[in-house]
Amino acid sequence: MNIYYMIDELNRDAVVASALKKIFLKKGHNLVYGNRSSNRLLKYFHEAFDVIIFPRPHIIYDNWGDDWLTWSAKFVTLSTESLGIICKDHQVMAKTLLDREYFEGKRQYVDRIDAFCFWGEKQLQAVKDYAPEVAYKCHVVGHPRHDDLCVEKPKKNLDALQKDIKSVGVITRAVALNDYFKRSPMDWFATLFDNHIAYEFHNKITGKKLSSKRAAVNPANMLVVQAIDVENTLKIIKNLLKAGHKVSLRIHPKEDGLVWKNVLGSCRLNVEISDPTLPITDWLQGHDYIFGPPSTSFYDAVMLGVTPISICSLDSRRQASIGELWEENNRLMDHVLKPKSIDDLLKFINAGIRNTSSIEILDILREEANFPECANALNRIVDLCLSSPTRVRLSGLRLLPFKIARAFYFRVRGMGNFFLGRRENSAMFSMTGNKIRFIDGLSSGN
């Protein structure tokens, strides 16, 4: 078989694509990488593929309208982000997995998709609660980025063993202030009048509206919170360095890394900045602690035995701006360390306080990420893709025209970026030969 896999965000999803390619190849099948730019080529080359894997339904019909409904390929969805606060509200979770159009009466898209791969039982239960007619083709596979092929072996922190110092990771989330597309923070205020953000969905048949409770609905609150978090992050880094600890910064994939580099330089903070293309699971395993605003990265941390510390309680002004469906209120946050001052945060780290293996935390990880069974998540996905094929297996030679067209397309696109002075980012990147070889090498196993 020939499989097309869309990499939504290079810095987040490429390691899963790499591992899937290895598993399919061992079984005699061919996986080809795609991204947001190459999707448009499928309109002309879809006959070359037996299986097409996308993150969410709307990305499929956003690209091809209704054309794909008649294609012969098998369609499978695999979420790229599927835990945290959205698991707390099953109606919002169901909408996130199936998309708004399904709940507005346009059910032909979800009906056409052959299989949905979910991270945990929580997500499956949300569909059973609000779209039970779809549950028969929904499957729990686990958190794909925590498959054994995606996670490197733990690294020993020799400095910590020899000098009693800690290695501390810092995660950022200032996407409204520091957008990687160079959009102004003022642009967020347009969401005040955007019905697609104001409502999770608006069922035009029943007249029912599910109001959104997400951060983007309140741009002023979002900007206030992110400004406070950036200030506290810089202060904490300064104190950690002064105390002799090792500090590494992991910049949110939707932020502009050059801005952080310049700010750190101006503040004279000599901090290692993580390679954004390094899988977050690799980066996390080099640390004893991570700190930052509440994030789904805290889930990744505790699954790898790294203690997260939230900075959400350091400033009393912050809490007044937090909405109901912000990550501050996800289920894991009840069990995350939340110091009330920077001094207390430093005391947690200096004292070596750990908090990653409580029964409550393990239950949350099991329900939302299928942990620890997610170590075999990608084999489950592959088995689903290969089961009940829609047609006879296609030869790998059928992929050649697509690969030639993809190479030509990205060569032209790269030239355009050069002349326009446009930088690539994690979402809009060129699928060059070098990039393909880089992705191939991200996962373990041969």
- Cα–Cα distance for residue pair 72/412, rounded to 1 Å: 30
pLDDT, tens digit (0-9, with 9 covering 90-100), for 95-136: 999 999 999 999 999 999 999 999 999 999 999 999 999 999
pLDDT, tens digit (0-9, with 9 covering 90-100), for 143-191: 999 999 999 765 555 444 445 789 999 999 999 999 988 889 999 898 8
pLDDT, tens digit (0-9, with 9 covering 90-100), for 265-317: 999 999 999 999 889 999 999 899 999 999 999 999 999 999 999 999 999 99
pLDDT for residue 318 is more than 70:
yes
Chosen CATH of 158-357 out of 3.40.50.11440, 3.40.50.1000, 3.30.930.10, 1.10.4080.10: 3.40.50.1000
- CATH 3.40.50.1000: which residues of the chain? 158-357
Burial of 334 (0-12, 13-18, 19+ CB in 10 A): exposed
pLDDT, tens digit (0-9, with 9 covering 90-100), for 23-43: 999 999 999 999 999 999 999
User: Considering the domain 2-148+369-440 in this protein, what is its CATH number?
Assistant: 3.40.50
User: How many other β-carbons are positioned within 10 Å of the β-carbon of residue 288?
Assistant: 19
Q: Mean pLDDT over residues 339-367, rounded? A: 92
Buried b (16+ CB within 10 A) or exposed e, 143-175: bbbbbebbbbeeeebeebeeeebbbbbbbbbbb
215 SS3 class: helix
What does the pLDDT read at residue 435? 94
Average pLDDT, the chain: 91
Q: Mean pLDDT over residues 47-53, rounded? A: 95
Among 267-276, 315-324, 352-361, which is the least confidently predicted range? 352-361
- Tell me which of 286 and 56 has the higher pLDDT: 56
